[in-house]
Amino acid sequence: MDKILLVTGASRGIGAATSVLAARQGWSVVVNFNARGDEAQALVQRIVDEGGRAMALQADVSQETQVMAMFDQIDRQWGRLSGLVNNAGVVDVAARLDQMSWQRWRRMFDVNVLGSLLCAREAVRRMSTRGGGAGGAIVNVSSAAARLGSPAQYLDYAAAKGAVDTMTVGLAKEVAAEGIRVNAVRPGLIETDIHASGGQPDRVRDLAHQVPMLRGGQAQEVAQAIVWLLSEEASYTTMALIDVSGGR
């Protein structure tokens, strides 16, 4: 039977690296994207060229109707999924709390928290043995920021990732007896476009000296942990928050 995996925010960065690696492990991968359809299609082509199975689906994870439509399409085209990686995430420019706008906070929590809750809800509805599903695995992509707090940078983002950690713990316990494992990875400073989105393209290089391993990480290094958590090799691992942060 096909193992179907949805990776949100997979057009680039950690989501793209996870999709490639998961496809190599035999997952049929749904590459979700928000705006960058061309990059998502190119990734699908790369996976297919390697002999894997993938399709790209657009949905803004913070929009319930779009997420519901995406899950419905997966059901119709491929069947029930057994893997979800809640990876889509956003940061904003560095700022103090007293300089942040309401609109910024809404986006931060809508995408990072509500998007993850929403996709997890739809995945549980399909995976839970309570509803006739065959079980599955959910991996939430949190951040070391949840531990560090990110003062004068983006503590709203850090707080949102803290919520993702708490959701991981609660959901892991809630569905453990229904065949679903729920875990999170907490990346540290990883070389992706997200830092440029936050107005700091050189952030990894500038802060690498604060990392005990004295370097930033690669998306691939985070993907390895995610794909392991999805796999049967992690069959007794649930509720884990795995730091992939070079010791930071």
Our CB check for ligand NAP shows the closer of 128 and 211 to be 211
Of 31, 139, 157, 192, which is the active-site residue? 157
Residues near ligand NAP (CB under 6 A), total: 30
Q: How far is the CB of 98 from ligand NAP (least distance, A)?
A: 23
* Footprint on residues 44-103 left by ligand NAP (CB under 6 A): 60-62, 87-90
Whether residue 154 lies in the annotated active site? no
Our CB check for ligand NAP shows the closer of 22 and 133 to be 22
Q: 3, 4, 8, 154: which one contacts ligand NAP (CB under 6 A)?
A: 8
Q: 3, 15, 153, 211: which one contacts ligand NAP (CB under 6 A)?
A: 15
Query: Does position 111 bind ligand NAP by CB under 6 A?
Result: yes
Our CB check for ligand NAP shows the closer of 128 and 245 to be 245
Our CB check for ligand NAP shows the closer of 136 and 246 to be 246
Query: Does position 11 bind ligand NAP by CB under 6 A?
Result: yes
Nearest to 187 by CA among 6, 13, 7: 13
For the chain, what is the largest distance between any 2 Cα atoms, rounded to a whole number of angstroms? 53
Mode of pairing for the β-strands spanning 3-7 and 53-58: unpaired
Directed axis angle between helix 155-175 and helix 102-109, to 10°? 30
Q: Cβ(208)–Cβ(245) under 8 Å?
A: no
Our CB check for ligand NAP shows the closer of 133 and 167 to be 167
Q: How far is the CB of 157 from ligand NAP (least distance, A)?
A: 7
Q: 3, 12, 147, 181: which one contacts ligand NAP (CB under 6 A)?
A: 12
Query: Does position 34 bind ligand NAP by CB under 6 A?
Result: yes
* Footprint on residues 161-220 left by ligand NAP (CB under 6 A): 187, 189-190, 192-194, 197
Binding site for ligand NAP (CB under 6 A): 8-15, 32-36, 60-62, 87-90, 111, 141, 143, 187, 189-190, 192-194, 197
Among all residues, which ones are annotated catalytic?
157
